[in-house]
Structure 1
Amino acid sequence: MRTLAFILALALPAVADAHEIWVERDGTGPARIYLGEPAEALPPGGDPEFKRLVAPRIVGQTGAQLQRKVGYLEALVPAGDVRVTDDSVFAPWGDAEAKEGVVYYARAGRAETATAMPYEIAPLTAGGHRFALMQGGKPVKAAKITVITPERKSVEMTADAEGAVTVPVTAKGRYLLTAAQAETGKLRVAGGPVDKLHHIATTSFVAG
């Protein structure tokens, strides 16, 4: 089975390591924000590219303080689902007339069905197992969503006619969902204008 890193490498050929941002949270504890390859074990000392994760924005939490730990950023946030976005991790790449960029949207939790980011993998029912990649609050039909199980097994899924997938929750532990969509046009990220923008969304939740 293809690994998640390989799948995303196909979509993002210039981002050599196909890294992602994801958020983990245990109960009402602090949020942990990672940059790396979620399907792989975190290397000792953290992912080599973690240094690029400098200023992720916690949606709705303007005063949240980030503390740099070994391999992740930690933030004390109120109870509930946590959302993070960042378009400054990788500078635009490619030819001058065909620049590409990437923006990340990460979420931890499935207590809320509402979305708060332009792209977001959200549960269709609070605490449920059916999720959809939402673009502008609407499900993306036929979206490709990869589920990473607590055993780090990657399961590739395609959204149904309603734009949803049912996550196969067969064990206790943390599940992570990821999806990618590309947009073309005269667009911009923190590093400057781009002609193609890759939107990468992740959502994690803990099944007890």
Structure 2
Amino acid sequence: MMKTMKILTALAATMATIPAVAHEIWVERDASGPARIYLGEPAEAVPEAGDPEFHHLQKPQAIQSDDKPIAFVRRANHIEATVPGSGDVRVRDDSVFAPWKSGEKMQGAIFYARAGRSETAAKLDLELVPAAANADRFTLLFRGKPVPAAKLTVITPDRWQKAFFTDANGGVEIPKLGAGRYIVGASHTEEGPAKLGGQDVASVVHISTLTFVR
């Protein structure tokens, strides 16, 4: 009995160091209104009080081409950002979860999110970029280079999910599966030493989402 308790205690301690890897950051925006930045599970309805992990989302960084200030307001289940203009909105956050132990090495995560598909240039390290403004075909780019055979998760407006894979050139076609907001998620693990949250890590998981409305 004592041995079993020790095993369960050790397992609980190990699980406590693993972040909610199923979680993602995504951004929703309607026309030129404020952007809503969420942390949670995109396929699930966002609780009115916020996802249990929402408190980890503290300082998302807006990636923009100008230096105009952006006002962030914390709401019950999202962060609201007043973004000038009506173009695509991008955010980045490398401090959502503290680095964790993966096997014998430390690993960390950087989250990216984009709302809109009007711009054909990448501004995030990991980003789905449309072939043309408002196109249904995209290329997954990591620091400007296509990522082939990458798994993408597409969530339709009715929360139906399906996995797709990029082709040899990093391209993928997102099928039309109803009107409303789509969320597309992708990830890419970068092996090699880096520093996140003041800690040394052996690899970084880059997690990116794209939302757009049909």
TM score, norm. by length of structure 1: 0.89
CA distance in 2, matches of 1:113, 1:155: 24
Residues 61-80 of structure 1 show CA distances to partners (whole Å, capped at 9, x for unaligned) of 65211100121000111220
CA distance in 2, matches of 1:163, 1:96: 29
Which range is displaced more, 54-63 or 139-148?
54-63
Q: Aligned residue for 1:140? A: 147
Q: Structure 1: 5+ residue runs without aligned partners?
A: 1-12
TM score, norm. by length of structure 2: 0.86
Q: Which of 82, 85, 99 lines up with 1:76 in the alignment?
A: 82
User: How many residue pairs were aligned?
Assistant: 195
Aligned partners of 1:91 and 1:191 also within 8 Å? no
CA distance in 2, matches of 1:42, 1:161: 35
Residues 129-161 of structure 1 show CA distances to partners (whole Å, capped at 9, x for unaligned) of 011211112221111111100011111001123
Distance apart, 1:95 and its partner CA: 6.8
Letter in 2 for 1:71: N
Matched, 1:57 2:64: no
The RMSD of aligned alpha carbons is 1.7
Q: Aligned residue for 2:131? A: 124
Question: Which SS does the other structure have where 2:55 is aligned?
Answer: helix
Q: Structure 2: 5+ residue runs without aligned partners?
A: 1-16
Letter in 1 for 2:22: A
Q: Which of 29, 32, 55 lines up with 2:33 in the alignment?
A: 29
Q: Which of 150, 169, 172 lines up with 1:165 in the alignment?
A: 172
Quick one: percent identity of the two aligned structures?
50
CA distance in 2, matches of 1:35, 1:26: 18
For the pair shown, which has the larger CA radius of gyration, 1 or 2? Answer: 2
